[in-house]
Structure formats: C-alpha cells, structure tokens
Structure 1
Amino acid sequence: MITTDSVEWRVSDALAAYPETLAAMEARAAAIFAGDARELVWLLEHPPLYTGGTSADPVELLDPRFPVFSAGRGGRYTYHGPGQRIGYVMMNLAARGRDVRCYVHAIEGWVIDALADLGVKSWRAPGRIGIWTNDNGREAKIGAIGVRVRRWVTFHGFSVNVDPDLSHFEGIVPCGIAEYPVTSLAKLGHAADMKALDRALERRFPDFLTRLETAQTQG
C-alpha cells in the first residue's frame, strides 16, 4: 500500500524568484537528509529566465535576453517562465532504492501519465532527455527533466509547457537539442490549464511512488 502522507504537496501561485527558490530547495534537501523535514513536491512558475546545468555549453546561449542562472542540476540550458509548470521534487532515495536512473525514469513516467490524463500522448525518446509528443506530424518537446542528487536526496525535477511564450526558447538551444522544436499544451490545441495539470500530477503521484518502491524492493 503506497501512502503519500509523508510527502508534503505545495503549490505556489505567485511567480517564484529563482535564487530564492534554489536556496529553499537546498535547505529543504538538507533538512530531509537530517530527518528534520518531510519529502516535498513543490509546483510553481518562474518569471522568464534561463538556467544552465552542469553540461551547459556557452555557445548554446544564443540570446541571453533574460537572466541566466547556474542551476547545479544535470543537463544543459533550459528556459523557465510563466505558463510553464515547474515541479521541484525532493525525495529521500536512501529510503527509496538508491537508484538514480530508476528515479529519473519514474519522473518521466509520472509526467507521461499525467499528460495522458489530459488527452496528450507523450513518450521518452532514446538518447534525448525529456518528454516528447507529436506536434502537427513532427516530434516536439513538451517537458524537460533535470535532477540533482546530494547525499541521496533529490532536488530540481521537471517542467511541462502548458502555455508559455514559446518564442522565449529561441534564446537558447533547449537542452542542447536543436533538431526538434518545443511545443506546449496550448499549441497542441488543448484547453487544459495549470490547475488541470496539477490535479493530474497529484492523481498520478502514487504511481510514481510505486515505481520507486519497486526499485527499493528489487535493490
């Protein structure tokens, strides 16, 4: 039986400044490691900005029209802004299998399941990190994944494009992948709003925990 009682679920309505959010994530991860806080799923939006992961290549920062932050997560450059749901996930993998690859796979499956509930078929693509879908006959990226693990506690997480200004992605090579476009629920013609996505993510969260429990059992 999977229970979510040990995990706090937080939704921020106002746009969250990135430096303060990053500091709060790091503090919460440290508290989880120390046993002083519950695990946390934090859903929010940022003002327009770019973040660079540990593999970010400066040549892929094409037009830094917005503030650029070093994120410390894995991956390359990505965009965050209004209309994009950010999910920061702080989980204690020491109690959930100690399998980072399984954790990332579970995050991807969670987002794919939530999008399916909204009528959007999406998938993983071998060799290309993120969540992919069909946009008018062409494969396009609708979600990004970027995680960091410190002392077996995760932070950062995922993003899903609900209705952001897609032209803002033109300032970077998103996640280092220039060959494929970026899309959103709105561009695909779906009327789903942020709250509908949040409900789908919450509904599918126990399945995410089940995947992690399976990793723990098999480990």
Structure 2
Amino acid sequence: MDGIDDIEWRVTPGLTPYDTALAEMEARAAAVAVGTARELIWLLEHPPVYTAGTSADPAELVDPRFPVMPAGRGGRYTYHGPGQRVGYLVLDLNKRGRDVRCFVHAVEGWVIAALRHVGIESFRAPGRIGIWAHDLNGQEAKIGAIGIRVRRWVTLHGFAVNLAPDLSHFGGIVPCGIADYPVTSAQALQKPVDHATFDAALAFTRRPFLQSLSCPREIEA
C-alpha cells in the first residue's frame, strides 16, 4: 500500500514567507516522527529569497539583492520566488524505505513525469542533481531544483520547479553551485503552465512516486 490517502495534500495560495514555511515544515516533521501528525505534501510559492544549503559557498553569493536565509537542507544556494512551484515533502521513510538516494531519485522522477504530463520533456543529468531540459538554443538548462533533508528518517524540503519566475533573479547566485549551465522555465521554453495545471499534473503522477519508495528498484521517469 502506498498510503496516499493518509497524506495531507496542501496547496497554499499567494506568497508564503520562507521562514514561516520552514518553521511549520520542521514542526510538522517532528510531529510525524513521533506519530502525532499525518505526512504532508505541501505546494506553495515564496517571495523572492535566496536560500543557503549546508554546502553553500559564500563566493557563490554574487549579488544578494534579496534576503538570504539558511535552509538546513543539503546543497548550496538556490532561489525561490513568484512563478516557481515549490513542493515540500514531509514523508516518513521509516515506512517507505530508508534509502535517501532512492528517495531523491524518486522525487526527480516524479517531477519529470509531471512536466511530461504538461508537455515539457525533461531529464536527469549524470553528476548534476536536479531536473534539466533543453532550452530554445538546444542547451541543457535547469528547470527544477531538488534539496532534501532527512531527520529521524522523516524528509524535509523537496523540489522547486520554474514555471514562470523572473529568471534574472537567479543572477544573484551561482544556482546550486553550477555556473556552466543556465536556468530555464516553462515560460522560457514557450510552454507556459499555470500553477493549477502543474499541481494537477503532480497530483496525477504522485501515486507512482509514492509506490516507488517501497520498491527496491529505482523508478523510471
């Protein structure tokens, strides 16, 4: 059983301050760990903010034009802002398979499947975490970021997919420490997708994602 009906599916309209979301997510994860709250998949947007993972290099903070917030997740600097769909995953790997690498792979596969559902082909790139697509010039460009933390085998953070953010905002950092490749979005690919449509694609493809967490095989996107 994938337990999909036991997971709260929450979509928050408007812009949620990053520190507010982080505090709520951490409290929820602590409650899930002791069995007093349901697991959570939370879809939201943030005001413009740069977040620093545990491996963030200050040299990669090029132009801190927006607030810089410590995130507590793995990885380096990333950007969140309007036009981006952020998904926070508070899931209990104690009952879904204690395999962090498999979990990250599964999240990537879920996002790739959801993008395909709305007509955008994306892929994994060896050695580069995240979700990638070919831009209009044929160059590989990052359309989605993955950042995960696991505490007591309960996951925190998740993914961010660029639907229609202001891509110039990424210029304040070296996104995820990768300077050799640009970022892109559904809008920049001339395949605009609104949040409700992408949320529906995520909902449609979530069952295979959750089922994959209990399977020893890596899921295929």
Is the TM-score greater than 0.5?
yes
Report the CA distance between 1:157 and its aligned residue.
0.2
What residue identity is the alignment partner of 1:113? A
The answer (yes or no) to whether the contact 2:93–2:153 under 8 Å persists in 1 is yes
Report the CA distance between 1:210 and its aligned residue.
1.1
Matches within 5 A, 1:103-182: 103-136=103-136, 137-182=138-183
What residue identity is the alignment partner of 2:75? G
The answer (yes or no) to whether the contact 1:144–1:158 under 8 Å persists in 2 is yes
Do residues 35 (structure 1) and 63 (structure 2) align?
no
Matches within 5 A, 1:25-104: 25-104=25-104
Report the CA distance between 1:3 and its aligned residue.
4.1
- Structure 1 residues 162, 72: closer, same or farther in 2, change over 3 A? same
1:208 is aligned to 209
- Once residues 109 and 191 of structure 1 are traced to their aligned partners in structure 2, the CA distance between those partners, rounded to angstroms, is 21
The answer (yes or no) to whether the contact 1:60–1:173 under 8 Å persists in 2 is yes
What residue identity is the alignment partner of 2:52? G
Aligned length: 216
1:95-152: CA deviation from partner (whole Å, max 9, x where unpaired): 1110000000000000000000011111110111110001021100000000000000
The answer (yes or no) to whether the contact 2:163–2:192 under 8 Å persists in 1 is no
What residue identity is the alignment partner of 2:98? R
The answer (yes or no) to whether the contact 2:16–2:47 under 8 Å persists in 1 is yes
The answer (yes or no) to whether the contact 2:142–2:182 under 8 Å persists in 1 is yes
Aligned alpha-carbon RMSD (Å): 1.0
SS in 2 for 1:86: strand
How high is the TM-score relative to the length of structure 1? 0.97
Report the CA distance between 1:2 and its aligned residue.
3.6
- Once residues 40 and 189 of structure 2 are traced to their aligned partners in structure 1, the CA distance between those partners, rounded to angstroms, is 31
SS in 2 for 1:214: coil
What residue identity is the alignment partner of 1:100? V
Percent identical pairs in the alignment equals 65
SS in 1 for 2:4: coil
Gaps spanning 5+ residues in structure 2: where? none
- Once residues 21 and 44 of structure 1 are traced to their aligned partners in structure 2, the CA distance between those partners, rounded to angstroms, is 9
SS in 2 for 1:9: strand
The answer (yes or no) to whether the contact 2:65–2:172 under 8 Å persists in 1 is yes
1:197 is aligned to 198
1:188 is aligned to 189
What residue identity is the alignment partner of 1:29? A
The answer (yes or no) to whether the contact 2:41–2:87 under 8 Å persists in 1 is yes
